[in-house]
Amino acid sequence: MIEAARENPVPVKSQLSPTPRYYGSCKWFNVSKGYGFVIDDITGEDLFVHQSNLNMQGFRSLDEGERVSYYIQERANGKGREAYAVSGEVEGQGLKGSRIHPLGRKKAVSLRCFRCGKFATHKAKSCPNVKTDAKVCYTCGSEEHVSSICPERRRKHRPEQVAAEEAEAARLAAEKSSSGSSESEDQNESGKDQNSPKKDSDE
């Protein structure tokens, strides 16, 4: 019932709005709950937006960062202002919407699988890309660790810190190797002294 209500056409307001048309970008949109916020270009104000006010066919939603135009009005509950008659930057133009749909009677258009890390229509428990029951890192595909401690992920998100740590590790390894070589030389010298014949004290 919820999915059907989300996909029914939205009646367009026939009366002329007393306010001008505004422009902004989608800040975030919860596709499961059907609402989110847009940021106004001029004021930077966060404006509530409900899926029923989106000009698009089928499943109505906004993609993060999507450019929109709209009118502004006070919310019925008195909690700030909201955008309505929301469309593309050209008034009346359809919206792109989010590529991610919540699970329902229909398969999701794009769902993140946390076994292979790909956006697909399958769930993690039935992932066709991973043939083992072991936990797999969906960042690099390794079975030796999970994504939260994946070195590739750390290199991607914190390259400067990782580079510094690797340089420090290389320095310590070089010092250890140098120290080991010195100790080995000292031991060899000590062995030579012990094995050399002692001279007679009378001589």
136 and 177 fall within a common domain: no
In tens, the pLDDT along 98-109 reads: 877 665 555 445
Torsion sign (Cα): 81, 85, 87, 90 = negative
70 and 42 fall within a common domain: yes
> Mean per-residue pLDDT for 116-138?
69
In tens, the pLDDT along 156-198 reads: 656 676 677 777 778 888 888 777 666 666 666 655 555 555 5
Beta bridge partners of 112: 119
pLDDT value at 66 more than 50: yes
pLDDT value at 53 more than 80: yes
Residue 194 lies in a domain: no
45 vs 17: which has the higher pLDDT = 45
Residue 25's pLDDT is 93
20 and 83 fall within a common domain: yes
pLDDT value at 111 more than 60: yes
Centre a 10 Å sphere on the Cβ of residue 51 and count the other Cβ atoms it contains.
22
34-43, 53-62, 124-133: least confidently modelled range:
124-133
Q: How far is CA 58 from the centre of its chain?
A: 26
Q: Is the pTM of this model over 0.75?
A: no
Tokens of 26: 């989608």
121 and 159 fall within a common domain: no
21 and 55 fall within a common domain: yes
Total structural domains in the chain? 3
CATH number at residue 119: 4.10.60
pLDDT value at 58 more than 60: yes
Residue span of the structural domain in which 172 resides: 150-187
15 and 52 fall within a common domain: yes
Q: How does residue 119 score in pLDDT terms, banded at 50, 70 and 90?
A: confident
Dist CA 152 CA 121 (whole Å): 26
22 and 80 fall within a common domain: yes
123 vs 71: which has the higher pLDDT = 71
4 vs 186: which has the higher pLDDT = 186
59 and 75 fall within a common domain: yes
Residue 179's pLDDT is 72
Torsion sign (Cα): 143, 146, 149, 153 = positive
Residue 74 lies in a domain: yes
Residue 69 lies in a domain: yes
